[in-house]
Amino acid sequence: MYLTLALSDAPSMVDVALAVLAAGGALIAQAQVRLTRRLAAVEVVTLPADPISRILRYSRQITPESPSLVYHFVEQESERMSDFLKEIVERGEIHYDGEDRDWLLRLTDHAQVTIDAVSLASVDRGFWTSEIGTRYLGAQRAAVERGVKVRRIFLIDQPGGGIEPEVRRTCEQQSRMGIEIRTLDRARIPEVRRVDGLGFIIFDRLMTYEIIPSSMEDKARSVIAETRLVLREKRVQKSTEIYRDLWEEAAELPPLSH
């Protein structure tokens, strides 16, 4: 038995959608009817039905007679998962309020070919030693080991393009893991190639993960207002072209001066 989903791109997107569904918990009876109809109404890529059937089977145990807190919590989660698929299928873009954790890790786990990242060094300060940063590094290490090409550009916004010791240690650590690292002085980036937000990641050149700050004027002190996943071909192609140009302009980590 198979269900179908209107995604015309790589299998990694399908895997991500299934992973998100499986992690979302059970669906209640009313939501399972809506979700089944949505999945059945579209076609292109064939999905194995087993994860969906498990969700539907467990959903039968959540009824209006269940404790109110459980019932309404599962209802809200089921709507969120249903909306996730709807936005992916119909808009090719989905937004998450605030800082995401799960998307970043799951996409890294499912990448098959390339992971191209741009990071603001000043914003990343402290991130790589945090719990989520450590898990993300572990996922990237696993990606490298399975043959995924992982590249990262650290944008330097220090006067004169100087690299702080913490940033250098981060670059060296990731380089030892097999990640290709380059640095680029933000002041050298042409206006037409400026990176919006707090950076972006391109997975398999098919999907972008974008981090939007609460303030575009002072990104270093800004909090994350929104995270976006974009599958629209033209948008991903533009990000890919920007990354290509930035990578060519960027330089390998310079040696320490003596």
In a domain, 258, yes or no: no
Q: Which residues contact 207 (CB under 8 A, 6 or more apart)?
A: 9, 12, 13, 107, 229, 230, 231, 236
Q: pTM here?
A: 0.72
Residue 106 belongs to a domain with what CATH number? 3.30.870.10
What pLDDT, in 10s, does the model give residues 154-177?
988 776 657 788 888 899 999 999
The total number of structural domains in the chain stands at 2
Residues 245, 177 within the same domain: yes
Q: Is residue 227 domain-shared with residue 111, that is, in the same domain?
A: yes
pLDDT tens digits for range 180-235? 999 998 877 766 566 665 589 999 999 999 988 776 555 455 577 888 999 999 99
Domain check: are 39 and 103 in the same one?
no
257 assigned to some structural domain: no
> Would you say residue 59 lies in a domain?
yes
Q: In the listed set 67, 90, 113, which residue is the last one of a domain according to the structure?
A: 90
Q: Is the dihedral of CA 194, 252, 101, 106 positive or negative?
A: positive
Question: How many residues are there in the chain?
Answer: 258
pLDDT digits (tens, 9 = 90+) for 43-101: 444 555 677 777 777 777 788 888 889 888 888 888 877 787 888 888 888 888 877 88
Let me know: does 153 contact 174? Beta carbons within 8 Å: no
Domain of 189 in residue numbering reads as: 97-252
Residue that finishes a domain, picked among 90, 119, 136: 90
Higher pLDDT, 178 or 48: 178
Q: Which residue among 90, 105, 127 closes a domain? A: 90
- Contact in structure between 76 and 39 (CB atoms under 8 Å): no
For 254, the 3-state DSSP assignment is coil
The answer on 160 and 232 residing in a single domain is yes
Judge if 53 and 82 occupy the same domain.
yes
User: Is 168 within a domain?
Assistant: yes
**Are both 76 and 101 inside the same structural domain?**
no
Shared domain for 152 and 69, answered yes or no, is no
